[in-house]
Chains A and B, each alone.
Chain A
Amino acid sequence: MRGMCVALGVLVACLCCPGSSTAQQDLDALLEQSFKQAAALLNPSIVQIQTVGGLDRVAGVVTGTGPTTGVVVSEDGFIVSSAFNFAAKPASILVNLPDGRRLPARLVANDHAAKITLLKVEAENLIPAKAAPREAFRVGQWSLALGRTYTNAFPSVSVGIISALDRAWGRAVQTDAKVSPVNYGGPLATIEGKVYGILVPLSPRGQTETAGVEWYDSGIGFAIPLVDIYRVLDRLKQGENLKPGLLGINFEGRDQFGPATIGMVRPTSPAAEAGLKKGDRITMIDNAPIARKSHVRYALGRKYAGDMIRLQARRSDQEISVQLKLTDKLLDYQSPYLGLLPEREETAEAPVAEGVVVRYVFPESPAAQAGLMKRDRITAIAGKPVTDSAALMRAMVGMAPDDKVSLSFVRQGQVQPLELTLGALPDRIPGELPTVSIPPVDRADAKAADPKIGRFTVELPAHQHSYWAYVPPDYNPNFQYGLMVWLHPTGDTMEAAIMRLWKSVCERRNLMIIAPKAGNPRGWNPAESVFVKAAVEDFVKQYPIDRSRIFAHGYATGGAFALSLLFKERELFAGAAVASATLRTAPPPNTPDYRIQLHFNSGSADADHARVARTVEGLRKMKYPVSFGIAKDRSKKYPSQEDVREIGRWADSLDRI
């Protein structure tokens, strides 16, 4: 410490005489000295961790087997590390202390919100790392990412600055020091040798332990503040697994910047028990004023299940204040269902009248039982006027199966009221489904500048990838089409087979296809979701696509990728139809914020059939609407023409209400 003080003294002296290059040189030298001293100061608190056995793939990412890093947090042998280092569920964990001792370690508990794991070794007189106080965090400060994977002699060092505070809803700080499996679990240190936080892979979107690994060494790295970990250390020490704290509300509308008005209170949730109601506008959580939805996420970002919060809200003219205890689990949400298909109108024409014109009523559905008919025009639900089908869907967010609602509809010029009991999205695909006939457009005199038609290939240079696409040659730009995103299995784009089976279905069901190609013949890499998304956005800009009918379709490994893509990009995809594919990671809970629909197809003689069936069962238990087509006696093969027609009917009813 003394050395550092002296160094800093000289450093200050240097700052007094800027302009001279020798002074700058000295300053650089002193700065370098400070990096080394900070690492040396923290050295005794940084341990190397080795693991034995375990999975070789986690969430599709090949896991490393090299040593990893941990940080001592108590004299008696508690050590924290990144949960990434234990994602492979190792059979045994060893800790190498800087003094050369090698000790077996026990996994004590996980913080699932921060992706931190607590270990324990039997040792005494260890030197715990000192946490830098949160008030001292500033963007622009030097930060050192330290690891202990190369040698046990001295920590590895990468230098950067703090790039941002309060990332991931307040849970992490961001740095441009190089963060990778080489130092995950290690400390992000201040230039004084205190610890900002523990380095972890993190993705604002992903939920698994490996999410964010694709950003390794990119200059985008994250650390979980050590002060926050110390705050919950006693709970972790007692073996309590910490989970994110949930309130049990969904907001009205998706705009993050909008006011925090409750759109739905989930049954039996803490919010429901505290008496919060739809329409309440949250104004304060603990001492943080809430002006918009994102503020609520920040206020809850560092809270855990079991934490108490005080919440204030405005209900018409009245200010209400409640105290509630956050939970780790909500009852699964199930989307409500009327049982109709809305008319798909010509986009160029102004709508004839406000409301949703019924194109088709599903037999035996709530709508059919209540006597709703084709060509009826729904104008209001639960007293709220409805302008179009998107508005009707929005109004139904927050309603649940078995809820009773009132509708107003117009039949032959007469406004009529209707009471009905909502159902749940059915998990069967009807054998017949009417089609929408779109007047074809003759393109005999198409110009080069017109959007391409038929089957063609597009290069996306920014992503070093390409995709092929199929656009019906006579498509009508005044009508909207569904979009199938075909994700091929490992090593085979199946272009010819897909065209053979899907061309007629595309024409009948008004679909277009785009088919991104994996960059590597060994199969899809989770990071390629970025490219697939870019390909879809590129396509949607040029063709009339109905965003509520974009779905991912894949077979075998392509199907598994389609599922992971769907749950990662719920803004983009309305559903996925997969064949011979299973889920590799637990999906997020079903939420009213996104309406997801799924279809599975499998042959009963397929070796994976039982696993597919289990995936379907699991998703249904989570209240996702899942239909399941079983091809009798089929082994591992792409679906037959008949099954493809069924998938076509599923895709053509993605806009069912």
Chain B
Amino acid sequence: MNTVRNHSCGSRRRWLVVLVALAACGPTTQAALAASPAIESALPRIVKIFGAGGIRNLYSYSTGFLVSAEGHVATVWSHVLDADSVAVVLNDGRRFEATVLGAEPQLDLAVIKLQTDAKDFPFFDLKQAVEVGPGTRILGFSNMFKVATGDEPVSVLHGVVAARTKLTTRRGAFETAYQGTVYVVDAITNNPGAGGGIVTTRTGQLVGMIGKELQNAQSNTWINYAIPIDELQETVGEIITGRFKRREDKPQPESTIANYRPLDFGLVMVPDVLFRTPAFIDSVVGSSDAHKAGLRANDLVMFANDELVQSCRSLKRELGRLEAGDTLRLIVRRDNQLVSVELEVPRKLKP
């Protein structure tokens, strides 16, 4: 460290030396000390929840965080709350019964109320939550795997925000009720019982609520994420004040009746024999719209209305969603070029 003390601003090489010194430390005891005020302030605001479950691999515990001095706790909406009342254990070991005050399944959110008249609980002010970007160092707090027994505090993890993204950017990638923005983090935060825990910045500012365990169907990997507090804040307030009305129910599952097929545009696709048959055009019906737009046999359909078409099946799905009067934008690959065409969706009698 002596080289560092002598710091007349010099060559770039000097910075390198510093960086190497820093890097060699890695996450050191010093780093841990710096974060400790944040951890000390967060832990009393986090609770362990014990409720329904315990059979058939369903765990019966989760995590929550206090959001009012009166003992309102925000947590993830899950089977654990599927009981008349649940047990909540605070960081100091106090144990309360709690009942569900309200829930918004579309946000994977529930608010429960401790059965007490006390009005002096430490809590997170949701209005103070911050928005962060990739690379931001974070702390994760949760009752994962029920590691914390008795009055022990919950587990703390560290990492960085990997991305702020929408779980739905890729259609069908995630089977989840929540469809909004999430923070993906590089700490392994999303474990059994971790749902309802929190992610903060390294200085203790609230960032998000850890969601349920979720697998990405497109890469077959588990994802670690938190729902940003700004997505939850309004609903939490409404549930507490009793003004909450559940939003419209989820949109009905997509109709299985396909509105349009490739042939409606004059496209004959190659036979769909494999799970992922690429969407090659086999032939184009003469005088059809597709023909007029210049599509040809052997063109490979890559995008339909900006959705990546990975197979004949996904093209059929995209066309099935169209309504009369829409415009169908196709991008096809021909030799090594991308060609873009627009087709009007024809009016037709539905079956």
Do the beta carbons of B337 and A142 come within 8 Å of each other? no
Do the beta carbons of A180 and B219 come within 8 Å of each other? yes
B338: CB under 8 A from chain A?
A: yes
Do the beta carbons of A53 and B277 come within 8 Å of each other? yes
Do the beta carbons of B133 and A36 come within 8 Å of each other? yes
Q: Which residues of A contact B203 (CB under 8 A)?
A: 25
What's the tally of chain A residues with a CB closer than 8 Å to chain B?
Answer: 68
A268 to chain B, nearest CB (A): 41
A11: CB under 8 A from chain B?
A: yes
Do the beta carbons of B276 and A141 come within 8 Å of each other? no
Do the beta carbons of B20 and A56 come within 8 Å of each other? no
Q: Which residues of A contact B37 (CB under 8 A)?
A: 21
A84-97: contact bitstring with B at CB < 8 Å (1 yes, 0 no)?
00000001101000
Of B30, B163, B186, B221, the contact of A150 (CB 8 Å cutoff): B163
Do the beta carbons of A32 and B220 come within 8 Å of each other? no
Do the beta carbons of A138 and B338 come within 8 Å of each other? no
B201 to chain A, nearest CB (A): 9
Q: Which of A12-20, A389-397, A649-657 lies on the face that meets chain B? A: A12-20
Q: Which of A152-160, A297-305, A438-446 lies on the face that meets chain B? A: A152-160
Q: Which residues of B contact A54 (CB under 8 A)?
A: 276, 278
Question: With A24-B30, A142-B23, A178-B186 known to touch, is A150 a contact of B308 (CB < 8 Å)?
Answer: no
B22: CB under 8 A from chain A?
A: yes
A66: CB under 8 A from chain B?
A: yes
Do the beta carbons of A39 and B134 come within 8 Å of each other? yes
Bound form: Cα–Cα A64–B173 in Å: 10
B336 to chain A, nearest CB (A): 6
Across the interface, name the chain B residue whose C-beta is closest to A144. B135
Of B19, B21, B219, B278, the contact of A52 (CB 8 Å cutoff): B278
Question: With A151-B163, A157-B135 known to touch, is A21 a contact of B220 (CB < 8 Å)?
Answer: no
B288: CB under 8 A from chain A?
A: no
B144-175: contact bitstring with A at CB < 8 Å (1 yes, 0 no)?
00000000000000011111111001100100
What's the tally of chain B residues with a CB closer than 8 Å to chain A?
Answer: 66
Do the beta carbons of A53 and B162 come within 8 Å of each other? no
Do the beta carbons of B162 and A156 come within 8 Å of each other? yes
Across the interface, name the chain B residue whose C-beta is closest to A14. B4
Q: Which residues of A contact B25 (CB under 8 A)?
A: 140
B18-58: contact bitstring with A at CB < 8 Å (1 yes, 0 no)?
11111111100011011101000000000000000000000
A258: CB under 8 A from chain B?
A: no
B349: CB under 8 A from chain A?
A: no
A50: CB under 8 A from chain B?
A: yes
Do the beta carbons of B278 and A91 come within 8 Å of each other? yes
Q: Which residues of A contact B170 (CB under 8 A)?
A: 66-67
B116: CB under 8 A from chain A?
A: no
Bound form: Cα–Cα A90–B197 in Å: 40
Q: Which residues of A contact B7 (CB under 8 A)?
A: 12-13, 16
B76 to chain A, nearest CB (A): 21
A103: CB under 8 A from chain B?
A: yes
A122: CB under 8 A from chain B?
A: yes
Do the beta carbons of B19 and A25 come within 8 Å of each other? no
Bound form: Cα–Cα A92–B24 in Å: 43
Across the interface, name the chain A residue whose C-beta is closest to B311. A53
Do the beta carbons of B23 and A138 come within 8 Å of each other? yes
Bound form: Cα–Cα A142–B18 in Å: 12
Q: Which residues of B contact A50 (CB under 8 A)?
A: 308
B255-284: contact bitstring with A at CB < 8 Å (1 yes, 0 no)?
000000000000000000001111110000
Q: Which of A7-55 contact B (CB under 8 A)?
A: 8-9, 11-13, 15-16, 18, 21, 24-25, 27-28, 31-32, 35-36, 39, 50-55
Q: Which residues of A contact B169 (CB under 8 A)?
A: 150-151
Bound form: Cα–Cα A140–B333 in Å: 46
Do the beta carbons of A177 and B23 come within 8 Å of each other? no
Do the beta carbons of A181 and B221 come within 8 Å of each other? yes
Between B160, B308, B311, the greatest number of chain A beta carbons within 10 A of the residue's beta carbon is seen for B160
A362: CB under 8 A from chain B?
A: no
A170: CB under 8 A from chain B?
A: no
B184: CB under 8 A from chain A?
A: yes
Do the beta carbons of A24 and B34 come within 8 Å of each other? yes
Across the interface, name the chain A residue whose C-beta is closest to B134. A157
Do the beta carbons of A102 and B338 come within 8 Å of each other? yes
Bound form: Cα–Cα A103–B331 in Å: 11
Of B134, B300, B310, the contact of A65 (CB 8 Å cutoff): B310
Bound form: Cα–Cα A66–B35 in Å: 36
Q: Which residues of B contact A518 (CB under 8 A)?
A: none
B211-248: contact bitstring with A at CB < 8 Å (1 yes, 0 no)?
00000101111101000000000000000000000000
Do the beta carbons of B23 and A15 come within 8 Å of each other? no
Q: Which residues of B contact A643 (CB under 8 A)?
A: none
Question: With A150-B169, A151-B165 known to touch, is A64 a contact of B220 (CB < 8 Å)?
Answer: yes
Across the interface, name the chain A residue whose C-beta is closest to B201. A32
Across the interface, name the chain B residue whose C-beta is closest to A152. B169
A104: CB under 8 A from chain B?
A: yes
Do the beta carbons of B310 and A52 come within 8 Å of each other? yes
B5: CB under 8 A from chain A?
A: yes
Across the interface, name the chain B residue whose C-beta is closest to A9. B9
A213-228: contact bitstring with B at CB < 8 Å (1 yes, 0 no)?
0001100000000000
Question: With A28-B202, A66-B216, A181-B219 known to touch, is A15 a contact of B18 (CB < 8 Å)?
Answer: yes
A182: CB under 8 A from chain B?
A: yes
Across the interface, name the chain B residue whose C-beta is closest to A66. B218
B223 to chain A, nearest CB (A): 8
Do the beta carbons of B30 and A18 come within 8 Å of each other? yes
Across the interface, name the chain B residue whose C-beta is closest to A23. B34
Do the beta carbons of A159 and B338 come within 8 Å of each other? no
Do the beta carbons of B19 and A66 come within 8 Å of each other? no
Of B22, B221, B338, the contact of A182 (CB 8 Å cutoff): B221
Bound form: Cα–Cα A91–B161 in Å: 34
Between A12, A18, A192, the greatest number of chain B beta carbons within 10 A of the residue's beta carbon is seen for A12
Q: Which of B186-205 contact A (CB under 8 A)?
A: 186, 188, 202-203
Question: With A25-B203, A54-B276, A66-B218 known to touch, is A155 a contact of B18 (CB < 8 Å)?
Answer: no
Q: Which residues of B contact A536 (CB under 8 A)?
A: none
A161: CB under 8 A from chain B?
A: yes
Q: Which residues of A contact B5 (CB under 8 A)?
A: 15-16
Between B22, B135, B218, B302, the greatest number of chain A beta carbons within 10 A of the residue's beta carbon is seen for B135
Do the beta carbons of A55 and B221 come within 8 Å of each other? no
What are 25 residue pairs bridging A and B, where the CB atoms are less than 8 Å apart in the complex? A11-B18, A12-B7, A12-B18, A15-B1, A16-B4, A16-B7, A21-B33, A32-B135, A32-B136, A32-B160, A32-B202, A35-B135, A52-B308, A66-B170, A92-B300, A94-B302, A104-B338, A140-B24, A154-B163, A159-B137, A159-B186, A181-B221, A182-B221, A191-B23, A217-B188
Rank and list the top 7 A-B pairs by shortest CB-CB distance, nearest first. Answer: A53-B278, A66-B218, A158-B186, A64-B219, A181-B219, A91-B278, A141-B23
